[in-house]
Amino acid sequence: MSSPSRDAAPITQSRASLLPRRLGLWSAIAVLVGSTIGSGIFRSPAGIADKLPGPLPLLAVWVTGGIFSLCGALTLAELAGALPETGGHYVYIREGWGRLPAFLYGWSELVIIRAAALGAISLTFGEYLLRGLGYNPSIAPYDTYAHWVAATALALMATINILGLKWGSLVQNVTTLAKYGGLLLIVVLAFALGLPKTGGHFTPAAPPGSFSVGAFGLALVSVLWAFDGWGDLTKVGGEVADPRRNLPRAIVMGTLGVIAIYLLANVAYLSVLSVDEIRGARLVAADVALKLVGPVGVTLVSITVLLSTFGAVNGSLLTGPRIFFAMADDGLFFRQVALVHPRYKTPYVAIALAAVIGIGFVLLRSFEQLADIFVTASLVFYILSVGAVFPLRKRADWNPPVRTPGYPAVPALFCLATLFLLVNALVDPGQRWGTVAVLGVIALGIPVFFLTVGRRVRSPGGR
């Protein structure tokens, strides 16, 4: 294990050691896949087709998102293997860049990123549940009911994760198998029943006006929302068994599995629906199933999406709160947030905190607002997290079990592409002020840091 960076205060009386390493390889893969496959593949295609109304640009943006995510995952495999600690991105940013950037990441996770993710995923759960019961979640009063269903799901998942890692892991394993299998079933039915009837909707491949660099960048943000999760496993790195072996393998294997099923799903959608139909299909998987096998298909897809989003909420609550726990354990947040439940051995205060803020967000914001907030704020810290490999590689004690293939091109490509997306969002008139607002909230963490923990000097006996 590498030594702390020069400006990272030493950890004393750490509570991270109280979290047992119970996640094996396949459970770790399930955490990554289950955290990634949530609402995006079922909800984002409509918005993407609106920006890129052609089959070739639509598929190209998903391929680009997959390559982008794989570059990040390959780099994180090196970082996670060398620093298999609770907190993931927080640890890499702290070790690579110092305490202030690490604090800003935790601050942003607390006030916008984690809450927005939980809100968006659970809201999709609520909408599909109502759709499966025969109600239209886009009209009153069911649009309001969807938010309350989402809040209830968040509270339930928080309770399960507080009761123990084994229960959260069990839910994750079961729902991951169910959602992956459900997506594969949609793919098989689309190819077997839909494609022979329609011949697919792949021509014209790129109609006039179906592609622009700006629109492609905005669509890629939505794709990255669907792919986000490939880094979530690192946040429970301190609870993965044999981490130097299992963490890199799980990150790469899980990311490749997600890329494969996402590309197949989009080809399946185009096998049944035209791009124009996808653009108007807010719940695209349900519309595909309705066209293939009728109302029973909608029910089956609704069950798949419910399991998918339920598992993604569980995965987000299993991984995200570990950031707050790591911050508190490191002296950059309230000490009580690092409390470990004496019976269940879980960071119960951190989990409860994440759930409460997530419930607040889901009751006040729409899916699109939540997804855009999440992706914009996350991009900043993906650059810092993946980019941490550059300063860490210069340390004499750096000894990862695996090294990023194609270094330094692979992490550099990821960081430059992420920076492009941020600049593109700032330039676009429709996204500019929302992006500025998110960046403003992140920057607000700087005075918060210096007014609170920034000047704190911890004594050997405490923090």
- Residue 134 CB coordination number (10 Å): 9
Rounded average pLDDT over 12-34: 76
CB 320 within 8 Å of CB 306? no
pLDDT digits (tens, 9 = 90+) for 380-427: 899 999 999 999 999 999 999 999 999 999 999 999 888 888 887 788
Helix (H) or strand (E) holding 85: none
Q: Residues for the chain: how many in total?
A: 463
pLDDT at 207: 86
Q: SS3 helix, strand, coil % of the chain, rounded to 5? A: 75, 0, 25
pLDDT interval class at 130 (50, 70, 90): confident
Percent of the chain with pLDDT over 70: 93
pLDDT at 88 over 80: yes
What are 329-386's pLDDT values in tens digits? 888 888 888 888 888 888 899 899 989 988 988 887 777 677 777 777 888 899 999 9
For residue 345, CA distances in Å to 29, 119, 232, 357, 450 come to 22, 26, 20, 22, 32
Q: Give the chain's count of helices (H) and strands (E).
A: 21, 0
pLDDT at 16: 57
Q: Which residues contact 381 (CB under 8 A, 6 or more apart)?
A: 89, 93, 104, 105, 108, 113
- What mean pLDDT do residues 47-68 have? 92
User: Does the pLDDT of residue 428 top 80, yes or no?
Assistant: no
Considering the entire predicted model, what is its pTM? 0.82
pLDDT, position 368: 67
> What pLDDT, on the 0 to 100 scale, is given for residue 77?
94
20-451 folds as Amino acid/polyamine transporter I (1.20.1740)
Confidence of residue 75 (pLDDT cuts 50, 70, 90): very high
The two structure tokens encoding residue 37: 């496959």
Tell me the sheet residues that pair with 240: 23
Residues 6+ apart with CB under 8 A from 243: 21, 80, 81, 84, 237
How many CA within 13 A on the CB side of residue 329?
A: 26
Structure tokens, 344? 């269940």
Give per-residue pLDDT as tens, 290-312.
Answer: 888 888 887 888 788 788 888 88
pLDDT at position 257: 94
| Mean pLDDT within 212-229 | 84
Every domain of the chain and the residues it spans = 20-451
Give the model confidence (pLDDT) of 188-200 as tens digits: 999 998 898 888 8
Distance CA 58, CA 52 (A): 6
